[in-house]
Amino acid sequence: MLRRKMRGAIATAVLAATAPLLGGCQFEVLDPHGPIGVDERSIIILSTCLMLIVVVPVIAMTLAFAWRYRESNEQATFAPDWAHSNKIEAVVWLVPCLIVAVLGYVTWTSTHKLDPYRSIAAAVKPIEVEVVSLDWKWLFIYPDLKIASVNELALPIGTPVNFRLTSSSVMDSFFIPELGSQIYTMPGMQTKLSLLATTPGTYEGISANYSGDGFSDMHFAARAMPRADFDKWVAAVRSAPQDLTMAAYRQLAVPSERMPVTYYGNVEPMVYHDVLNKCADGSTCTDDAMHLAMAKESFGDVGLCDAARILR
């Protein structure tokens, strides 16, 4: 009895000591500030509620059965030859089937509605942003504005943003929890994503895929602001003295940690294209995969840049 009380006291002390650690938990995904995040929150809540339809009764029945059929309860029914119940079979099979059917419907509809490649309908023209994940920082290029920034993303509220994303080295994961839709970045490949912010604020962007030593500090600030403030931000970036050339990009691509926010007042037109096609020397590469296949067939394993030179 004393030993049991000691175990209970130790367990209580451990729980009390670890409870403050829960203060670090963040629930941005449940506090969205954009339509994509709102829809994804609804799916999370619906899925949780459907799961609880099974979990809560099972927990309740486990406790009820343990109490009702305890050794000291001589009034409980003893049926050693019991083998089957149509009612129990119906519940055991029907409820999971209904839950799976509802989840299947939600999955089918939401997969199409929340397709990251699908543009968000809006009355205003969307902004194009090219994203490059590096070791261990984020590069954002605004091709129509001919500016770029590192570790800071500016978004005008109420305006869709169409992202094109790639990686300079390893696979990363682009994620702004309060806006929704995590998507991967991969070297030599391009993914797409559309987001929209409805509330002004600064939201934390992260890499949700481990990528090495500097992963824990691979954050960026997603600043959602009114259009007038966004125009001021663009003007401030344009006044930055440095340009994003391929030579500047190669310096930027050198692994570094905790890089401060950096602006580039002008961007060479082919930087993102050459990064995507792995042209480290800055030469223009072909976008045609067929050309690469032809070059590989004739000359063995060659890169995109070499294929472009061979087939010129």
Quick: pLDDT tens for 238-253: 999 999 999 999 999 9
Range with the largest mean pLDDT of 7-16, 72-81, 256-265 = 256-265
Domain range list for the chain: 27-60+87-114, 127-276, 279-312
Contact 307, 291 (CB under 8 A): yes
Residue 148 phi, psi dihedral angles, 5° rounding? -150, 160
At residue 21, the pLDDT reads: 56
Alpha helices in the chain (DSSP H): 2-18, 35-68, 86-113, 227-238, 246-252, 271-276, 289-299, 304-310
- Over residues 58-70, mean pLDDT: 90
Q: Do residues 223 and 155 touch, judged by C-beta distance below 8 A?
A: yes
Mean pLDDT to the nearest integer, 93-117? 89
76 versus 187: which is more confidently predicted? 187
Third-level CATH fold of 127-276: Immunoglobulin-like (2.60.40)
Span 56-64, average pLDDT: 92
Prediction pTM value: 0.76
Asked if pLDDT for residue 160 goes beyond 70, the answer is yes
Report yes or no: 196 and 35 within 8 Å, Cβ to Cβ: yes
pLDDT at 54: 87
C-beta atoms surrounding 223 within 10 Å: 18
